């Protein structure tokens, strides 16, 4: 015969009506046995076990229900069920460990702290400092802005020699002090972190920012210099050092530190712009332009044209005829292929050259302007006044059309080895030369004081090629200068020398090929195989097949094989370095301290099984725990815990689980968070539910108070007021105040004679009154 749930349920209700609770338990056990997912029946079975003082059985039932609600995401109902268990088993560490994260998720910070403190106290009594500190960190995380709690936590970690966690906690406190502009306290916190871990990046970064905020950037730089001397290859420390010197407005030191950073991390080349601006602030335009010139190609290849233009315009705003800045502006617009802006820059350069009496430079600019604007007669007329353009203009145009236009845009990596520069700093009477090394020998950076021709001449004329062509005369004609080329140092131009007409000879093509092949060698040495391949393809298109190109292709294939074979295996992190916290399967993801700590029993075992080697905590650490608890309790008095919805819904969950006392507390809290006249039904709902809860507790006088408060709240519908009047009349009836009850029910009757059988209720009360 199958299981008839309805029949069993009727039998259970019959037994309950007769007060036969053991018999009712048997019926509910049948229901739970055949339908284990009937959690309402399971909850009822737990209530019956509790009524017959079978607490362990009741706890088992309630725990199954609570875990079901928690796993399904019904946090408020789970809280209510765990509270029922807590009534049967007060002070349970296991239940506290499960309640704490549930309260935390709901934003009930004060309640979460209370439960976490119970767990921490259990670990404290068991002498398990690591576990106790871990729980204290969870408490501190509930209110990240509370620096007092965070400092106590840090001191606890420090006392137990959990260095990483202590430094992290001190740095966290320092960050909060800094955010509140409490810089002296921030310095103290960061310093304590650095005393534990001397070169901790987070602490050093915070310390640097704090020193800068106090106007003591030079002190931060001194501390960072000490750190860098121990860890010279740490790019993060070098970055902080460069920033500190910039903030201290120490130009030479800022340039030196930035150069060291870029040497180890070439992608940080834009940090030089900060130093350039610092030089401009110090009105040292020559140094600013020197540094800007040495980095112009990286900026162009890195798509930083806007920043470059901004800095150049700032320089030219101070000195509109600054020749070096105008040369760089011409280089910028040449790179951008913006003929209109290039024409404007060349026009300004020609005018500045005329003012400065630099005829050769003016002639070169005018020659380029004639090419850009052939219909503009004033350029040609002025050029003729200067002696006219040489015949090299046509050969240059032919060369540009045949070769230069085929060149691909240089990549960033191709400029790494071309623009690094030795920075020198003089201290006292001694001069110390600082050099930063690259993988390959570097040509000297372009000198901003060089002529316009120097800046735009072909950069193939390096030391190696110059040696091969020592007999070639220095170019002086404008046609020899190409604005698309990288700036490099050239011999000084002698304005009095007669123009010499060069030709695009085979020797020059060979020199250009040699230069490009040197670039390929650099790419191969640095591991830039893809760039090397692209460059070889480009060279083959320009120069045709060549034995040297084929040789590089073979090297490229070998380099790829070696690179593949030499790949280092990925080493998985050591899992033993981190221990996860388990608060009795609370369901929340817990973060463990960063250092491995001794394992500890689950919270429910703490009180019963203390660590045999340490039955109690070190007195100093115990004092820190007490101070921590005091700080938490003081903070709880000021902390707002949860919102209306959280407390109201939790009250409903408690009421559903017959936890009337807890429900009253939540409804009272919810009512205190809203106003009677806020235009919402929230206050009225709390008044109604509080009235019902007090009726359920057998306290009708308090019910009367809350029902009256609800009736006094303005702005609600007549139906809502009518319901409250009826409940108010019922409360007076329970109090035995029949006269007032008759008055209230009469008012209900006057509004709606058929409302909830009010006519019968009046006759019943009148009969009771007459019987008295």
Strand partners of residue 424: 433
Q: Is this prediction's pTM over 0.95?
A: no
Asked if residue 760 is part of any domain, the answer here is yes
Instruction: Give the mean model confidence (pLDDT) for residues 346-358.
Output: 88
Q: If 0-12 CB within 10 Å is exposed, 13-18 middle and 19+ buried, where does residue 471 land? A: exposed
- Comparing C-alpha atoms, which of 98, 125, 123 is closest to residue 112? 98
Asked if residue 243 is part of any domain, the answer here is no
Domain closes at, from 563, 588, 606:
563
The answer to whether the CB of 578 falls within 8 A of the CB of 594 is yes
Q: Are 554 and 649 in a shared domain?
A: no
Q: Are 543 and 656 in a shared domain?
A: no
For residue 722 the two structure tokens come to 């009518």
Asked if residue 290 is part of any domain, the answer here is no
Per-residue pLDDT of 689-719, as tens digits, reads 999 999 999 999 999 999 999 999 999 999 9
Instruction: Give the mean model confidence (pLDDT) for residues 350-376.
Output: 86
The answer to whether the CB of 342 falls within 8 A of the CB of 355 is no
Q: If 0-12 CB within 10 Å is exposed, 13-18 middle and 19+ buried, where does residue 215 land? A: exposed
Distance between CA 650 and CA 662 in Å, rounded? 9
Q: Please report which confidence band the pLDDT of residue 407 belongs to, taking 50, 70 and 90 as the band edges.
A: very low
Helices (H), 302-337: 305-318, 323-336
Query: Does the pLDDT of residue 262 top 50, yes or no?
Result: yes
Query: Does the pLDDT of residue 238 top 80, yes or no?
Result: yes
Domain closes at, from 548, 563, 578:
563
Contacts of 456 (CB under 8 A, 6+ apart): 327, 330, 331, 481, 482, 483, 485, 487
Distance between CA 543 and CA 557 in Å, rounded? 21
What pLDDT is stored for residue 642 in this prediction? 65
The answer to whether the CB of 12 falls within 8 A of the CB of 38 is no
Q: Are 458 and 558 in a shared domain?
A: yes
For residue 114 the two structure tokens come to 């209370």
Q: Determine which of 120-134, 156-170, 382-396 has the lowest per-residue pLDDT on average.
A: 382-396
Q: At what angle do helices 251-264 and 271-281 cross, to 10 degrees?
A: 170
For residue 629 the two structure tokens come to 């608890």
Q: Residue 654 belongs to a domain with what CATH number?
A: 1.25.40.10
Per-residue pLDDT of 526-552, as tens digits, reads 565 666 776 777 777 777 788 888 888
Asked if residue 5 is part of any domain, the answer here is no
If one compares 658 and 460, the residue with the highest pLDDT of the two is: 658
Strand partners of residue 433: 424
Q: Are 440 and 559 in a shared domain?
A: yes
How many structural domains are present in the chain? 2
Strand partners of residue 427: 430
Asked if residue 330 is part of any domain, the answer here is no
Distance between CA 474 and CA 494 in Å, rounded? 9
For residue 653 the two structure tokens come to 């969950």
For residue 726 the two structure tokens come to 């009826």
The secondary structure element, H or E, covering residue 463 is: helix 463-468
469-477 long-range contacts, CB within 8 A, separation 24+: 469/507, 469/511, 472/502, 473/500, 475/500, 475/502, 476/360, 476/500, 477/390, 477/392, 477/501, 477/502
Domain closes at, from 531, 563, 595:
563
The half-sphere exposure of 600 on its side-chain side, counting CA atoms within 13 A, is: 35
Q: Are 538 and 437 in a shared domain?
A: yes
If one compares 313 and 389, the residue with the highest pLDDT of the two is: 313
Give exposure, 374-384, as e/b (b: 16+ Cβ within 10 Å). Answer: eeeeebbebbe
Q: Are 558 and 433 in a shared domain?
A: yes
Q: Are 555 and 654 in a shared domain?
A: no
Instruction: Give the mean model confidence (pLDDT) for residues 356-374.
Output: 85
Asked if residue 237 is part of any domain, the answer here is no
What pLDDT is stored for residue 531 in this prediction? 65
Asked if residue 323 is part of any domain, the answer here is no
Q: Are 651 and 552 in a shared domain?
A: no
Domain that holds residue 684: 644-771
- Comparing C-alpha atoms, which of 272, 283, 285 is closest to residue 246? 272
Q: Which residue has the tokens 């030191």?
A: 253
Q: Are 541 and 672 in a shared domain?
A: no
Find the angle CA(471)-CA(476)-CA(479) to the nearest 5 degrees. 110
Asked if residue 362 is part of any domain, the answer here is no
């Amino acid at each position: 015969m199958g299981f008839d749930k309805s029949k069993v349920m009727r039998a259970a209700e019959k037994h309950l009506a007769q007060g036969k609770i053991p018999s009712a338990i048997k019926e509910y056990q049948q229901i739970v046995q055949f339908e284990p997912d009937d959690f309402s029946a399971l909850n009822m079975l737990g209530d019956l076990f509790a009524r017959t003082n079978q607490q362990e059985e009741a706890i088992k039932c309630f725990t199954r229900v609570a875990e079901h609600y928690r796993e399904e995401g019904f946090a408020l109902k789970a809280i209510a069920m765990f509270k029922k268990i807590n009534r049967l088993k007060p002070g349970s560490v296991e239940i506290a460990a499960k309640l704490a994260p549930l309260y935390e998720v709901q934003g009930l910070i004060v309640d979460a702290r209370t439960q976490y403190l119970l767990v921490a106290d259990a670990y404290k009594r068991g002498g398990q400092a690591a576990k106790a500190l871990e729980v204290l960190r969870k408490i501190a995380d509930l209110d990240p802005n509370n620096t007092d709690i965070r400092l106590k936590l840090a001191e606890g970690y420090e006392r137990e020699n959990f260095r990483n966690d202590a430094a992290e906690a001190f740095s966290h406190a320092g960050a909060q002090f800094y955010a509140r502009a409490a810089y002296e306290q921030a310095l103290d916190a960061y310093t304590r972190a650095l005393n534990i871990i001397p070169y901790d990046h987070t602490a050093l970064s915070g310390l640097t920012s704090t020193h800068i905020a106090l106007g003591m950037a030079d002190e931060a730089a001194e501390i960072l210099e000490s750190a860098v001397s121990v860890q010279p290859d740490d790019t993060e420390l070098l970055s902080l050092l460069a920033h500190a010197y910039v903030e201290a407005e120490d130009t030479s030191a800022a340039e030196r530190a930035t150069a060291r950073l870029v040497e180890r991390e070439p992608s940080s080349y834009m940090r030089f712009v900060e130093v350039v601006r610092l030089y401009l602030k110090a009105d040292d335009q020559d140094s600013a332009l020197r540094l800007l010139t040495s980095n112009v190609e990286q900026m162009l290849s890195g798509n930083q044209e806007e920043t470059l233009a901004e800095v150049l315009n700032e320089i030219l705003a101070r000195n509109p005829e600054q020749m070096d800045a105008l040369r760089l502006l011409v280089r910028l617009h040449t790179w951008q292929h913006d003929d209109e802006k290039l024409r404007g820059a060349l026009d300004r350069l020609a005018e500045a050259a005329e003012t400065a009496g630099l005829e050769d430079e003016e002639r070169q600019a005018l020659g380029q302007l004639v090419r850009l604007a052939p219909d503009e007669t004033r350029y040609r007329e002025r050029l003729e006044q200067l002696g006219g353009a040489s015949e090299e203009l046509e050969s240059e145009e032919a060369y540009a059309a045949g070769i230069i236009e085929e060149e691909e845009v240089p990549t960033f990596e191709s400029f790494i080895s071309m623009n690094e520069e030795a920075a020198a700093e003089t201290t006292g009477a001694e001069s110390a030369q600082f050099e930063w090394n690259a993988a390959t020998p570097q040509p000297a950076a372009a000198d901003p004081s060089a002529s316009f021709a120097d800046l735009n001449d072909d950069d193939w004329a390096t030391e190696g090629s110059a040696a091969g062509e020592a007999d070639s005369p220095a170019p002086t004609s404008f046609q020899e200068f190409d604005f698309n080329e990288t700036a490099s140092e050239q011999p000084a131009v002698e304005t009095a020398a007669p123009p010499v007409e060069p030709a695009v000879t085979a020797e020059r093509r060979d020199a250009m090929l040699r230069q490009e092949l040197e670039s390929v060698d650099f790419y191969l040495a640095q591991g830039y195989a893809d760039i090397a391949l692209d460059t070889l393809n480009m060279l083959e298109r320009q120069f045709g097949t060549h034995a040297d190109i084929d040789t590089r292709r073979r090297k490229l294939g070998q380099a790829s094989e070696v690179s593949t074979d030499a790949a280092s295996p990925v080493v998985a992190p050591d899992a033993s370095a981190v221990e996860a916290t388990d608060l009795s399967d609370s369901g929340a993801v817990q973060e463990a301290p960063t250092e491995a700590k001794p394992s500890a029993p689950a919270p429910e075992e703490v009180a019963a099984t203390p660590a045999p080697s340490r039955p109690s905590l070190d007195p100093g650490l115990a004092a820190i725990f007490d101070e921590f608890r005091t700080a938490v309790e003081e903070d709880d008095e000021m902390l707002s815990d949860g919102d209306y919805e959280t407390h109201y819904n939790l009250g409903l969950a408690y009421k559903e689980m017959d936890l009337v006392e807890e429900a009253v507390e939540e409804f009272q809290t919810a009512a205190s968070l809203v106003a009677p006249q806020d235009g919402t039904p929230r206050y009225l709902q709390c008044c109604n539910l509080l009235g019902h809860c007090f009726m359920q507790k057998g306290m009708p006088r308090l019910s009367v108070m809350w029902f009256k408060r609800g009736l006094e709240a303005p702005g609600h519908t007549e139906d809502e007021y009518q319901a409250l009047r009826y409940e108010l009349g019922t409360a007076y009836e329970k109090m035995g105040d029949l006269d007032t009850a008759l008055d209230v029910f009469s008012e209900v009757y006057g509004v709606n004679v058929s409302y909830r059988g009010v006519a019968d209720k009046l006759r019943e009360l009148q009969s009771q009154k007459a019987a008295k």
